Structure 1
Amino acid sequence: MNFQKFLPVVALAVLCACSKDDKDGGQKPPSGGENPATFAEIGTIDIGEEAGAAEISTYDPATKRLFVVNNEEGQPNKIDVIDFADPSKMTVIHSIITVGGAVNSLSVNNGKLAAAIEAANKQDAGHVTVYKTSDYTEIKTIPTGALPDMITFSPDGKYILTANEGEPSQDYTADPVGSVSIISVDNNYSVVNVDFSSFASQQAALQQKGLRVFGLNASFAQDMEPEYVTISADSKTAWVTLQENNAIAKIDIATQKATDIFPLGFKDYNLDANAVDLSDKDGGISFKKWPVKGIYMPDAIAVFEKDGTPYLYTVNEGDVREYDALDEAVRIKDLHLDPAAFPDAATLQKDENLGRLNVTPYLGDANADGLYESLYSFGARSFSVWNGTNGTLLYDSKNELEVKCNGAGYYDDGRSDDKGVEAEGITIGNVGGKAIAFVGMERSDAVAVYDISTPSVPLFLQILKTGDAPEGVLFVSANDSPTKKSLLIVSSEDDGVIKVYSPKE
C-alpha cells in the first residue's frame, strides 16, 4: 500500500444497503423519493493544506459530528471533530491528539469512536483507541497486529475488526505477520489476532489460481497483507482484501478463524470491452486492446446481501511493493520479451505503446528463462462484484470507469502508464429505496455513482468531481442525516478538502 493511503468507510447490507455508520440495516427506505442520479455538492470544508490532512471520515448521528483523520505533514497526528449539524456550514470544533504513529482509519457505533493507530515503528504492534463521541474521553486502548490499516464495527456493535497490514521494513529484515484483530466490545475489549498461517500448505495451489506470494525470505503468514474489512449484516462473517496478494480472505468471527482465501486471478486487456490507454506518451487518450493482463489487487471492499447471497464489491486499485530491498515495479521496455509470445516486441516496447507501462517481474516468466511470455500490470482500473461464498467473479466494470472519467474531462493521462484512474474507495447506501454504490477514484478526483439494485448488473448513474485524491467515501442515510436527506461525504488526502453531496431531487 501507499504508506499514507487510508481507506473509506465500509458498507453493509441486507436487501438494502447501508454504511457502517448507518446501523438501521437500510430497511427503512428514505422518505421523499430521492433520485440517486441527482447528487450535487452542498458543502465543503478545508482542514489542511498538506498531504494527509483529510483521509478518512466517520459520522456520529447522536452528536451530529463528523470525525476526520488528519495526518497532515508537519503537524501532530490527530482526529478533527467537525460540527455537522448543517453540512453547508461545517466548522472544526475540536481536535483529538492521538498517541503513537499515524491514525489510519475510524469507525463509529453507539456513541463510541474507534481509531486504528499504527506504532511509531510500523513493524511494531499498533493499537485501537476507543473514545466517547460526546466528550472525546478515552474508553479503552487495545493492542492489535502491526499497522492496523482499516477499522470497522460489526453491525451489531459487538465487535471491532481491524485489517493489520504488517508491512515489512525497508530492508525487509523485519516483516510482521499480516492479521485481522477481532475485538470483543462486550468482553472488556478482549482481542484475538487472526492470521493466515493455516493456509501455508495450500500455497502452491492458491498461487496457481492467482495468489501472489513473493516477499523476501517471508513466510506465507508474513507475506499476507490485509488491507480492508467488510462484515456481513448478521455480524458473523468478515471478508478482508489481501491487496498485494491479489485475494480476498473470509473469516468466521465467532470461531475467530480464517476459513477461505479466494485468489482473484487476472483481467485480460486484450479484449474490446477492456480496452485501455497504457501510455502517457502516446499524444493523448486512446483506449485500445493490448496483450497485457491486470492483477485485480483490490483495496476497499463492501458487502451487499440479497436473496441469501453475499455480493462483494471491490475497487481494484492495484499496489506495488516499493522497498529498498524489493522494488517491484519495472517498465516493459526494460524487460526481455519472449519473441515467440511477442514477435512485435520492438514495437510494443516503444514509449508510445507499452514501453512505459509498469508491470511486475514476479509473474510472466513461467519457465524462468529470463524471457517474459506474459505481462502483468498493477490493478484492473475497475470495480468488481464477487460471490462472497465461493469467490466467483460475477461482474467487472471493464473500462467503464476510465471511459466515464474521460467523457467528463477527469481522466489523468499522466497516470496511463501506471494504474489509470485507481479506483480506491467504495461505500454502499440506500437512496430513494434503491441500493447505490459510490466508487471513489484517487487519480481522477471523482466518484462514480451506480445503481446496484440488481447486484451483479450495476447501472451507471452519474459522476461527481471531488477534491484532490479522494480517500474516504462515506454514506450517511436519510434516517441518520442532519438534513434528513441522504449524504455522501468524500475526504481527499492531498488537499485536505471534505465535500458533501446530496440528491437534488
Structure 2
Amino acid sequence: MISSRHLYSAGLGLSLSFGLNLASFAQTNFVDQQQAYNFNRIATFAVCRQLDENCNTDTETSAEIVTASNDGNTLIYSNSPYQSLGFVDITKPQQAQALGELKLAGEPTSVTVLNDWALAAVNSSQDYVNVSGQLVIVDIKTQTIVHQFELGGQPDSIAVSPDGNYLGVVIENERDEDHQATEGKPYQMPAGEFIVFNTQDPDPSLWQMKRVALTGLADWYSDDPEPEFVDINSQNIAVVTLQENNHIVLIDLKSASVINHFSAGSVDLEHVDVEEEKPALVALSGNLKGLAREPDGVTWIDDQHFVTADEGDLAGGSRGFTIFNRDGVVVYGSGNSLDHLAVQLGHYPDSRSKNKGNEPENAEFAQFGDTPLLFVNSERSSLIFIYDLSDINQPQLRQILPTAAAPEGVYAIPERQLLIAASEKDDRGDKLRSALNIYQYAKQSPDYPSLVSVIEQQRPIAWSAMSGLSADLKDPKLLYAVNDSYYQQNQVFTIDTSHYPAQVVAALSIKDTNDVLATTPVVTVDAQLSPEHPERRNVFDSADLSAMTNADKTVNIDPEGISVSQDGGFWVASEGAGTVGDDKRPVMSSNLILKLDDNAVIEKVIQLEPQLNLNQQRFGLEGISEYQGKLYFAIQRPWSMQNFTQIGVYDLASATTTMLNYPLDNVSSPNGGWVGISEITAIGEQQFLVLERDNQSGPDAAVKRIYKVDLSQLSEGRNLTKTLHLDLLKDTRNSALSFEKYEGMARTIDGALYVINDNDGLKDNSGETQLLRLK
C-alpha cells in the first residue's frame, strides 16, 4: 500500500517528517537501522494483470512458489488454480511487466530454475488415491515445453542443487483431509517418497531418476510419509521435511540414499492466545506444552545447519522457526516471538489462535553483502520476518515486511539486491488479489511498520482494526484511535507519534461501569410518524443496549469514529447494525454517540432522533468531530436520498440536530460497489475534511479521497458543496495493492494531518496498517 515514508505530492505540498528510531520499536530486539541497509517494498505485481492489465477479471489466479531466471530479470511462479506457470519481467523491478502464462496439463505445485529452463512439478492426480504427476521442463525465453517426465505420484516441492548436478522432487501423495475414515490424519495410501534426478546431461530427455523410499522412518504414521519441502546444500545433501509425520530426513543425492533422519521434536509456548472467540479477543495468557513442530518450508544456512518454518498441522501449531544441525540438535528456537511480533504490528490473526497462530509457512536464506539473512514467511499474518544470522546461536531480528495476503513462496536474488515473496490468496469478491511482492535492499530506513505497540509485562499491547482517529488538544505528538466491532472489547488507544514507527503506548477498554449504556431509555418511534410503514415502529428495544455490555462491563459496540472532547474524555460514534424493514438484515443495534471520561468509562449516551431511526440502513455512523460546542457526525452512505448521504450537527447545549446533505462521488470502480464517508475532521473556521472512499481494494480501488467542506451555514436539508483536498490514489506513490478501508483521519494542533486504514482484524485482509502523516 502507500508507503508511510514515501509520499509524493502532485502540487499539493505533501511531505513526511518522520525520523526512524527502531531502537524505540517497542523493546523488541531490533537493532538500530538509522544508517543501515534495509529492505523496502518497491512494487507489487498483481497476478490478475496477466489476464487483464487492469485486473478487471473474476478469474482466480495465484502466485504460490516463485523463482527467477539465472540473470534475475524474469520471475517464474506456479499458478495452481489457473494450471499454469506465470512469467514476469523485472528488468526494471519497480515497473514489473506481465510476460504471460503457460498453460499446463495439471496444477503446478512448485517451480525452480536450472540453466535456461524452468522446472515445474505438476500434479495431475485424479483424486487422493489415484495419483500422478509430471516434471515439466520449460524453455524460459520461448515459454515452451522442452520435455517432461512421468513421476508416478503427486509432487510438491522441488529443488536444484547449487552445482546444478541434481534435482530433488518431493512426492507428497497427500491424504484427503476430509476423509471420514482417517479423520484428516495420514494412513491413506499411497505413501509419499522422494525422487532424485541426475541433471548433468545437457539433454534433459536423458536425465536419470532414482526413487528414495521414506517409509519406516518417522515415529508418526511411518507407513504413510507425506514429505512436504526440500532444499539442497553445497555437498548435495537434501533436507526433506515430513510435516504431518513431524520428521526430518537427510538424503545424499549422489547415492540416492537416506543418511540421517530424526523427529522434528516439540516446543513449549507461554503467553500465547489459544482461544478463537467470536467476536475476537487477543489474550496472550495461554500456555501450550509439547506442541509438535511439524515443519513446512526448510532452507539450508550452511552445509551443517538448516532452518525449518514450523507451521504445525495435526497437533496444533508451533508458531515459530527452528535452527537444526545435521545431527538433529536444536541450535535455536523462536518460541512465541513471532506471535508476539505479529500482535505488536496489529497483524495477529485471532481466528487462528486455536490452530496455528501466525502460521510460519516457508523460509529462505541468502547472503546480502556481508550479512547472512534468514527470511521467514508468516502465511496468516502476511508478514516476512528477517533475521541476521551472523551468530546462528542467537539470531537478531532485523526487519519485518508486509505482504499481500498469505505469502507462500519466498525467493532472494542477492545479485540484484532483491527479495520476492509470492502471496497466494486471490478472491476478488473478498477484495484480495494474489501478488508478487518485490523488495529492494539498499542503504535506507525501513518503510514498515509505521505503527507498533509497546511491551507491558512481557506482552505487547494488542491492537488491530483501527476504525477512527483523533488528535490530542494540547500535545501535537499524541493521537487516539478506536477499534471496531470485530473485537468483543472495544478500546481507546493512545498513539505516540514522536517516534518512528509511531507507538501504541496505552489501551483503555471502553466500559459501562456505571450501567449508563445498559439502562439508557430507548427512543421509540410512534406509529403516527410513519403510518404507511408500521413495521418501522419500535424497531429498537432496550435489550439492544444492554446486550452491548459484557459481563466484565467492557462493551462490544461498533466504534467507527472518535473525537477528543473539549471538556475531557472522548466522543465515540458507534455504528448501528441492521436495516429497518429488511428481514434479511434485522436491526440488532442503533446508531449511538457515547461520551467517555478520561478512563474510557461511558458517561452519556446520545441517540439519533426518531425520524432518522425510521430510515436506518446497516451503514450508519462513521466519523465524529467536536467543534465549538457541536458534534459533527457522518452517516456512511445514503439512508433515504440517492447520491447524497448526510452529515449531522448535534448542538450540545440545545440537544438538537441539524442534518446536512453531502454529495458522494459516483461509483467508478470496474468492480462496482459503493462510495461512502469514512471520517470527518474539523480543521478550523467552520471548515472540515471528509474522508470518502469506495469499498474496493487493489486494482479495483477508485475512490480514496479527502474533501474540504464548509459547514458554517447550518440549515436543515442544505446541500453541501465539496472541494478536493487530496486524492490518496493519484497524489501519492503506491508500492503495494491499495487498501479498501481508509477509516481514520485526524489533524493535530500543529497542522499535521494523519490518515490510518482499518485492517478488519485480518478478516479477508493482509493485516497491513499504514499510519500516514500528510502535510
TM-score normalised by the chain length of structure 2: 0.47
Residue 117 of structure 2 is aligned to residue 112 of structure 1: yes
CA distance in 2, matches of 1:470, 1:314: 16
Aligned to 2:173: 166
Give me the identity figure in percent. Answer: 27
CA 1:156–1:34 in structure 2 vs 1: closer, same or farther (change >3 Å)?
A: farther
Aligned to 1:491: 422
Aligned to 1:79: 85
**Deviation sequence 1:13-35 (CA, Å, 0-9, x none):** xxxxxxxxxxxxxxxxxxxx998
Does the aligned pair in 2 maintain the 1:473–1:489 contact within 8 Å? yes
Residue 293 of structure 2 is aligned to residue 288 of structure 1: no
CA distance in 2, matches of 1:293, 1:313: 20
CA 1:460–1:319 in structure 2 vs 1: closer, same or farther (change >3 Å)?
A: same
1:456 to 378, 393, 409: 393
Q: Secondary structure, in 3 states, of the residue corresponding to 1:88?
A: helix
**Deviation sequence 1:21-61 (CA, Å, 0-9, x none):** xxxxxxxxxxxx99876211101111136665111111113
Q: Secondary structure, in 3 states, of the residue corresponding to 2:42?
A: strand
Deviation at 1:378, TM superposition (A): 2.1
**Deviation sequence 1:258-317 (CA, Å, 0-9, x none):** 222211221123xxxx42111122963222352533110000000111xxx611100000
Q: Secondary structure, in 3 states, of the residue corresponding to 1:156?
A: coil
Specify the code of the residue in structure 1 equivalent to 2:402: K
Q: Which runs of 5+ in 1 are unaligned?
A: 1-32, 214-219, 321-376
Aligned to 2:275: 279
Aligned-pair RMSD on alpha carbons?
Answer: 2.2
CA distance in 1, matches of 2:438, 2:188: 41
Does the aligned pair in 2 maintain the 1:241–1:298 contact within 8 Å? yes
CA distance in 2, matches of 1:391, 1:430: 24
**Deviation sequence 1:181-208 (CA, Å, 0-9, x none):** 11111351211121123xx3xx6xx63x
CA distance in 2, matches of 1:51, 1:98: 16
- After superposition, residues 133-144 of structure 1 pair within 5 angstroms as 133-144=140-151
CA 1:174–1:297 in structure 2 vs 1: closer, same or farther (change >3 Å)?
A: closer
CA 1:92–1:419 in structure 2 vs 1: closer, same or farther (change >3 Å)?
A: same
Aligned to 2:336: 399
- After superposition, residues 31-430 of structure 1 pair within 5 angstroms as 38-48=38-48, 53-62=62-71, 64-72=73-81, 75=82, 77-99=83-105, 101-122=106-127, 123-169=130-176, 170=179, 175-187=189-201, 188-197=206-215, 200=216, 207=219, 212-213=220-221, 220-221=222-223, 223-235=224-236, 237-269=237-269, 274-281=270-277, 284-305=281-302, 310-320=304-314, 377-388=315-326, 390-430=327-367
CA distance in 2, matches of 1:157, 1:34: 39
**Deviation sequence 1:102-122 (CA, Å, 0-9, x none):** 100000121111000012325
Does the aligned pair in 2 maintain the 1:37–1:461 contact within 8 Å? no
Q: Secondary structure, in 3 states, of the residue corresponding to 2:301?
A: strand
CA distance in 2, matches of 1:289, 1:37: 37
Does the aligned pair in 2 maintain the 1:242–1:298 contact within 8 Å? yes
**Greater mean deviation of Cα atoms: 460-469 or 132-141:** 132-141
Q: Secondary structure, in 3 states, of the residue corresponding to 2:272?
A: coil
Does the aligned pair in 1 maintain the 2:72–2:413 contact within 8 Å? no
Does the aligned pair in 1 maintain the 2:87–2:100 contact within 8 Å? yes
Specify the code of the residue in structure 2 equivalent to 1:284: L
Aligned to 1:342: none
CA distance in 1, matches of 2:366, 2:259: 28
* Greater RCO (CA < 8 Å, at least 6 residues apart): 1
CA 1:437–1:469 in structure 2 vs 1: closer, same or farther (change >3 Å)?
A: same
**Deviation sequence 1:306-358 (CA, Å, 0-9, x none):** xxx611100000124xxxxxxxxxxxxxxxxxxxxxxxxxxxxxxxxxxxxxx
CA 1:398–1:240 in structure 2 vs 1: closer, same or farther (change >3 Å)?
A: same
CA distance in 2, matches of 1:97, 1:394: 43
Deviation at 1:78, TM superposition (A): 0.6
**Deviation sequence 1:33-92 (CA, Å, 0-9, x none):** 9987621110111113666511111111337211111223xx4x1111111111111121
Answer with 1 or 2: which has the greater Rg: 2
Does the aligned pair in 1 maintain the 2:331–2:392 contact within 8 Å? no
CA distance in 2, matches of 1:504, 1:256: 41
Residue 438 of structure 2 is aligned to residue 500 of structure 1: yes
Does the aligned pair in 1 maintain the 2:268–2:335 contact within 8 Å? no
TM-score normalised by the chain length of structure 1: 0.72
CA 1:457–1:50 in structure 2 vs 1: closer, same or farther (change >3 Å)?
A: farther
Deviation at 1:230, TM superposition (A): 1.0
Q: Which runs of 5+ in 2 are unaligned?
A: 1-32, 49-57, 426-432, 444-775
Q: Secondary structure, in 3 states, of the residue corresponding to 2:151?
A: strand
**Greater mean deviation of Cα atoms: 171-180 or 120-129:** 171-180
Does the aligned pair in 2 maintain the 1:37–1:462 contact within 8 Å? no
Aligned to 2:30: none
CA distance in 1, matches of 2:35, 2:231: 27
CA distance in 2, matches of 1:454, 1:501: 24
CA distance in 2, matches of 1:36, 1:155: 29
CA distance in 2, matches of 1:192, 1:178: 14
CA distance in 1, matches of 2:420, 2:354: 30
